[in-house]
Amino acid sequence: MGTPILQVENLSFQYDKRTAHTLSNVSFTAQQGEWLGIVGNNGSGKSTLAKLLVGLLQPEEGQIHINGMKVNQENIWKVRSKIGLVFQNPDNQFIGTTVEDDVAFGLENLNMPYEDMKARVDEALSLVGMTDFRYYDPSNLSGGQKQRVAIAGILALKPSILILDEAFVMLDPKSRRELLATLKKLKQDENITIISITHDMNEAVDADRIIVLKAGKIVNSGTPSEVFHEEQELEPPFAEQLRRLLQERNAKVPPEFMTEQELVRWLCK
Amino acid sequence: MNKLILGRYFPGESVLHYMDPRAKLLAGFIFIFIVFLASNWQTLALLTSFTFFVMCLSGVSFKVYLRGVRPLIWLILFTVFLQVLFRSGGTVYFDWGPITISHNGIINGVYIFFRFVLIIFFTTVITLTTKPIELTDGIYFLLSPLEKLKVPVDEIALMLSISLRFIPNLLDETQKVMDAQRARGTEFGEGSLLKQMKTLVPIFLPLYESSLNRAEDMANVMEVRGYQSGLTRSNFRRLTWHTKDTLALVTMALLTLGLLLLQ
Ligand SMILES: Nc1ncnc2c1ncn2[C@@H]1O[C@H](COP(=O)(O)OP(=O)(O)OP(=O)(O)O)[C@@H](O)[C@H]1O
Ligand SMILES: [Mg+2]
């Protein structure tokens, strides 16, 4: 593997000097084309980490390098052209008065010519399946639809690193599967790096690698099978829950983590 | 809130709805100037019939327009009375110190009344048939020459359009907060004035706080999507000028000419 596209070293951060650190001594890397999952309970500092990565907050200690560039006041706009963040709350993410205006907002900032913007907006809206809603007022959309538009707004910018902060929580299972498949394809075709923040372990199993945050510290990391095998505290994905239950009943299941497909294959043997 | 017609958009399919906002804004400005050319019965009749024609074109019922005048009626009547009471000339009907009611005063009062109402009707036609965002785009275009004078027209337009985006959210939130307070037993619109005002405090404070949070979130979103103030931005929304827009302005020119001739 070459140099990582994202490198985080000894990152510490606190909102308020009087309270404990929100993040302490966090270090990790992400390779280009990798799908990195960040999991952790409420208040473990996931969103704070995301904001630090895009330079909305400044670290107290430690540093972040993206594509070899240090994230600081000087480089911030260069960095932001490489990295996109979809925020957790879909309600406050709309700048435009219609769906397509909103998706175009980031492109307008690049002073892109109209024809190019139109092509990018069309493409981004069809990727998230919102083409039919392009003239809608975003405030009239459902939560899941809003999240999809927010994702489209970032996809249109074609970032090399895409951070999704619980961007799927309001999506119904079918749309979630579809959108995850779309993103996976995008990751393959365009070799983008995806950092997906979630507390849904069924979503996290799709990642190439997982980082577990707890009270601002990385307590575990590795492939989903490693993490879910070791980590007994996290609620594991459905397949792992089933495997553990079978194990309790003394069924002869393999002792390690299995994905849904692996488990199905084993059960139908 | 529901009573305020001025500045509201009524979705519809009329010709006016599909006109370029720049043409409508220009026509509005021209109208405000030529209203002052209406200084005799003929010109007033011409202008009034033109305004009614435009109101019919909009496809919005007259009741809506009348509701638009209602909040301003006291201002209008006040101005009219000032004219009637303090303007002199012609036959004097009543005279007491500085107050004189004269023929010219009454005539002038009537003109002022009509001018006011016509301006309100005409501008209401524009706002009823133009989406607020289109109006913003139109204003942006018409103000863009000021960019040479270092006026941040681009930023003003963006600010306007974001504020417009905020309005429905703010109304929703007000409703939510009021419902929440009602669920806790607050009764709105009852008791003495002081008591009523007190019940508003627990509405405004949460609203204020949530607006600040929202503004911060939005600023973050804008930054992440690469917005920097002072940057040259392109524009995704496009205005297209059609023949009917040219025709509308020609009509306004003809109207002006007609008024000048009849004067
Ligand atoms: N703007 C802020 N000011 C002060 N403290 C904050 C602020 N935002 C978050 N915090 C605190 O920092 C901690 C981490 O918050 P963060 O939003 O990063 O958690 P999270 O892992 O994203 O949680 P969730 O799963 O609920 O989204 C929390 O204890 C929170 O109270
Ligand atoms: Mg969060």
CA B151 to CA B146: how far, in whole Å?
A: 6
pLDDT of residue B1: 40
The response to whether residue A48 sits with its C-beta less than 6 Å from ligand 1 reads: yes
Give the distance (Å) from ligand 2 centre to CA of residue A15.
Answer: 14
Compute the average pLDDT of residues A13-31: 91
Residues in chain A whose Cβ is within 8 Å of chain B = 51, 54, 56, 77, 80-81, 84-85, 87, 89, 91-98, 100-101, 104-114, 117-118, 121, 137, 139, 153-154, 157
pLDDT at residue B251 in the model: 94
Test mutation, B211, B224, B238, chain A, max A CBs within 10 A: B224
Please tell me if the CB atom of residue A46 comes closer than 6 angstroms to any atom of ligand 1: yes
Give the C-alpha separation, A27 to A218, whole Å: 8
The beta-strand segments (E) located in chain A are: 6-13, 23-30, 35-40, 61-66, 69-70, 83-86, 161-165, 193-198, 209-214, 217-222
- B204: burial class by Cβ within 10 Å (0-12, 13-18, 19+)? exposed
Residue A260 in this model has a pLDDT that exceeds 90: no
Q: Is there an atom of ligand 1 within 6 Å of A193 CB? A: no
User: Which residue reads 């119904």 in tokens?
Assistant: A172
Kindly state if the Cβ of A14 falls inside 6 Å of ligand 1: no
* pLDDT for position B55: 92
Size of interface A-B (CB pairs under 8 A): 94
- The ligand 1 atom at the shortest distance from the C-alpha of residue A166 is 27
The full DSSP string for A95-153 is -SSSHHHHHHHHHHHTT--HHHHHHHHHHHHHHTT-GGGTTS-GGGS-HHHHHHHHHHH
Asked which of B160-174, B216-230, B236-250 is least confident by mean pLDDT, the reply is: B160-174
- Per-residue pLDDT, averaged over A113-129, amounts to 94
Q: Exposure of A244 by Cβ count < 10 A (0-12 exposed, 13-18 middle, 19+ buried)? A: middle
Is the pLDDT score of A204 beyond 80? yes
Query: According to the model, what pLDDT value does residue B4 have?
Result: 53
Pick the residue whose CA is nearest to atom 2 on ligand 1. Answer: A15
Over residues A237-254, mean pLDDT: 80
Spacing, Cα A92 to ligand 2 middle (Å): 14
Q: Is the dihedral of CA B121, B122, B124, B128 positive or negative?
A: positive
Q: How far is the CA of A90 from the centre of ligand 2 (A)?
A: 12
Q: How confident is the model at residue B85 (pLDDT cuts 50, 70, 90)?
A: confident
Q: Residue B87: CB partners within 8 Å, gap ≥ 6?
A: B102, B104, B105, B108, B109
For ligand 1, atom 18: residue with the closest CA? A45
Q: What is the pLDDT of residue B6?
A: 55
Average pLDDT for B192-217: 85
Q: Average pLDDT of B105-128?
A: 89
Instruction: Give A86 Cα–ligand 2 centroid separation in angstroms.
Output: 11
Cα gap B101→B88, rounded to integer Å? 7
Residues A239, A259: contact at Cβ < 8 Å? yes
* Of residues B250 and A224, more confidently modeled: B250
In B, minimum Cα distance to A84 occurs at B224
pTM of this structure: 0.81
CB-nearest to B234 from A77, A85, A113 is A113
pLDDT per position as a tens digit, A160-196: 999 999 988 888 888 888 888 889 988 898 899 999 9
The 10 Å CB-count burial string (b at 16+, else e) for A68-88 is: eeebeeeebeebbbbbbbbbb
Q: Which residue has the tokens 């980490």?
A: A49
Q: Mean pLDDT of all residues in chain B? A: 85
Q: Residue B48 pLDDT > 60, yes or no?
A: yes
Calpha distance B55→B64 (Å, rounded)? 11
Cα torsion through B236, B249, B130, A94, rounded to 10: 20
Query: Is A216's C-beta closer than 6 angstroms to any atom of ligand 1?
Result: no
Residue A63: how many CB atoms within 10 A of its CB?
13
pLDDT the model gives residue B2? 45
Q: What is the pLDDT of residues A41-84, one digit of tens each?
A: 889 999 999 999 999 999 999 999 998 889 988 889 999 999 99
Listed residues: CB within 5 A of ion ligand 2 = A 46-47, 88
Picking from A242-256, B110-124, B200-214, which range would have the lowest pLDDT averaged per residue? Answer: A242-256
CA A124, distance to chain mean position in Å, is 17
Q: What is the pLDDT of residue B5?
A: 56
